[in-house]
Amino acid sequence: MEDKLAMRYTDVGYEYGSKIFVASVEKGDDSFTVSIDGEPHEVRIEDLGGGAFRIHDGARSYKCIVASAGDKRFVSFDGEVFTLTRVEKSSHVIDQSPSSKGDLTAQMPGRVVKVLVGEGDGVQPHQDLLILEAMKMECKVTAPFHGTVKKVHFKEGDLVNVGDLLFDIESKEGSDSK
């Protein structure tokens, strides 16, 4: 079996939201150098098995779980889930302006555990909107910007698939939508 931690990735592009990040990972003697957009981070990584890792960054330690489906990587890092889509080098430059249309879709399949907002509610950037259970983890779906919830498309107990529309959020005029 191939040692997952011995692999070296160079200039792999991943899309998160509307931004492309270029990442590379290189194994040293007893640590890794993880560079994101050219900014290096020295870390130690423990393989816990089953796609789970413990990442040590100095005095801090984080649990990370990674699952793959085609060109997508679902990464749970310190309790928050990110969906990354691998992109070809030629597409590393895209429009990075934030969208004011907040059609939030499910980034991974799962079951809706709790809906935390209702139609008409005002939301702030990074505010928790919904808790989704996927891969035996609870994952939070958060607001991308200041706005108002126009429509909630699922209720507690519903099953969602990747790409299912969860919320329609209208951007609040004059707000910072980053």
For 132-142, how does the pLDDT look when each residue is reduced to its tens digit (9 = 90+)?
887 667 777 88
| Band (151; pLDDT cuts 50, 70, 90) | very high
At residue 89, does pLDDT exceed 70? no
Of the candidates 176, 120, 117, 115, the one whose C-alpha atom is nearest the C-alpha of residue 144 is: 176
Section 95-104 average pLDDT: 48
Least confidently predicted of 3-17, 25-39, 104-118: 3-17
Please give the domain boundaries of the chain with CATH numbers for all domains: 4-91 (2.40.128), 101-171 (2.40.50.100)
CA distances in angstroms from 138 to 40, 92, 143, listed in the order given: 30, 31, 17
The pTM (predicted TM-score) of the whole model is 0.46
d(CA 45, CA 31): 7
* Helix then strand then coil, % of the chain, to nearest 5: 5, 60, 40
For the stretch 167-176, pLDDT in tens is 999 887 644 4
**Of residues 168 and 109, more confidently modeled:** 168
Side-chain half-sphere exposure of 129, counting CA atoms within 13 A: 32
Q: Does 162 score more than 90 pLDDT?
A: no
Percent of the chain with pLDDT over 90: 17
Per-residue pLDDT, 117: 96
Which pLDDT tens digit goes with each residue over 28-76? 777 888 877 677 888 998 889 888 889 898 889 989 888 888 878 888 8
Closest residue by Cα to residue 153 from 138, 172, 167? 167
Looking at residue 102, what is its pLDDT? Answer: 63
Q: Mind listing the pLDDT tens digit for each residue in 12-27?
A: 677 777 677 777 777 7
Bridge partners for 68 per DSSP: 73
